[in-house]
Amino acid sequence: MALLLTLSAVSCTHAERATGHWGYEGTSGPEYWAQLSQEYAVCGEGRAQSPIDITDAIPSSLAHPQFFYKNMPLRIRNTGHTIQVAGDSTGFMQVGTSRYELVEFHFHRPSGHKLNGKSYDMELHLVHRGLDGERAVVGVFMEISERDNPVISKIWDYLPADEREEHLVDQVLINPAELLPSNRSFYHYSGSLTTPPCSEGTKWYIMKHPIKVSEERVARFSSLYRVNARPVQPSNGRVIQSSIR
């Protein structure tokens, strides 16, 4: 039987280290982020913000991300903005000669990114960091289906309802690789964090194919976060590349 531990000391994400309370609705919503703190100014001034509507992607010969994830115990947290699973020391992504360690992954409803104007039911972000601090995020669309991703099922069994609460679920092992679609063709562009401080210089890899999630799982997430996705941002002429295999 799994042992559930509540951790009182938890690490803060990049967004929570900055000052200024932010959210997704009302006067703390995305249209006001830049006004909430000087640290968030790029949310309004930036020219390479995320998410975006992926359109007019250019077929390109791109180095495909290779994923070297390991089984890991489920360490799950309700951040007050999303459900987040810690990924420290559980594997990495290799793109060409660049290596990016998996830091954490989390969920948005609905999808922040769109594909030719289409929004998906949810979106998963796997956040990585290179040795030089460079960020690389893999985005995976999630689509309601009668089938359910097995890792999503495990995670959803332990969703913490209380904000700022983190649980370590002993003996429940997950592998983030099982959250990726079997067809790993992708779109690539340069953007930003989708939450304050909206820092730019993030490499985005958006999987073309969604993973499946049951309507029940989406409804359960919605009971915690009805909406927690930033609206699409102007592309401002950025090149969006599409892998050719």
- Dump the DSSP string for 170-182: EEEEE-GGGGS-S
Q: What is the mean pLDDT of residues 143-153?
A: 93
pLDDT band at 50 (very low <50, low <70, confident <90, very high): very high
* Beta-carbon count within 10 A of 165 CB: 16
**Distance of alpha carbon 204 from alpha carbon 200, whole angstroms:** 11
Tokens of 85: 């699973």
10 vs 53, higher pLDDT = 53
For residue 207, which of 175, 235, 236, 179 has the smallest C-alpha distance? 179
The model's pTM: 0.91
pLDDT at 161: 87
Lowest mean pLDDT among 31-40, 83-92, 195-204: 83-92
Across the chain, mean pLDDT equals: 91
Q: In 3D, which of 105, 110, 136, 138 has the Cα closest to residue 123?
A: 110
pLDDT band at 20 (very low <50, low <70, confident <90, very high): low
pLDDT of residue 99: 97
The conformation of residue 45, written as its DSSP 8-state character, comes to H
Q: Rounded mean pLDDT of 63-72?
A: 96
Could you give the domains of the chain?
37-243 (3.10.200.10)
pLDDT of residue 206: 98
